[in-house]
Amino acid sequence: MLIVLNRYRVKEAIKRWMMLRTPGLYESIEPVCLRDYKKSCLDLFLDEPDKFRELLVMQFRDQNYIYFLIRYTIIRPLLKELRREELEEELATDFINDIDKFKSIFRDATAAA
C-alpha cells in the first residue's frame, strides 16, 4: 500500500513513537501478530488493516482503548511522516467504525505521499 521507498522509514517512525510513548505495547502485540498472521504488526496494519483491527479487538475488546491506541500511537506518527496530520481524527474514527472507508482514505493518503 505504501510506496516501497518510504515503507521502512514509516515503519521505523511508528515503532520509535510507540516505544517512547507506550513502553511495552509494541513488544506485547508483536508476538501475537507474528504468531497469528506471520507478519509484523506494522506490516499487518499497512497491508491488511482489517486483520490488524480484528487482532486489536480480540486482544483489548475496548473500542475506546483501541481508538486511543490506533490514533495516538500508530496513525499520528504515520501521518507526521507523510505530512498529512489533518486526516488523524477521520482515519482513527474510520478504523473503528468503517474499515472500508479507512482503507480508501488511507490508500489515497499514502499514494499522494
Instruction: Output the pLDDT for position 112.
Output: 63
Instruction: Output the pLDDT for position 1.
Output: 45
Instruction: Output the pLDDT for position 113.
Output: 60
Strand ranges (DSSP E) for 1-113?
A: none
The CATH number of 4-111 is which of 1.10.1200, 3.30.960, 1.10.3470, 1.10.287? 1.10.1200
Q: How far apart are CA 54 and CA 58, in angstroms?
A: 6
Q: How far apart are CA 8 and CA 99, in angstroms?
A: 24
Instruction: Output the pLDDT for position 101.
Output: 96
Residue range 70-81: mean pLDDT, rounded: 93
Q: Is 9 exposed, middle or buried (0-12, 13-18, 19+ CB in 10 A)?
A: exposed
Contact 103, 49 (CB under 8 A): yes
Query: Would you list the DSSP string of 34-86?
Result: HHHHSS-HHHHHHH-HHHHHHHHHHHH--HHHHHHHIIIIIIHHHHHHHT-GG
Which tens digits make up the pLDDT trace of 8-67? Answer: 888 999 999 999 999 999 999 999 999 999 999 999 999 999 999 999 999 999 999 999
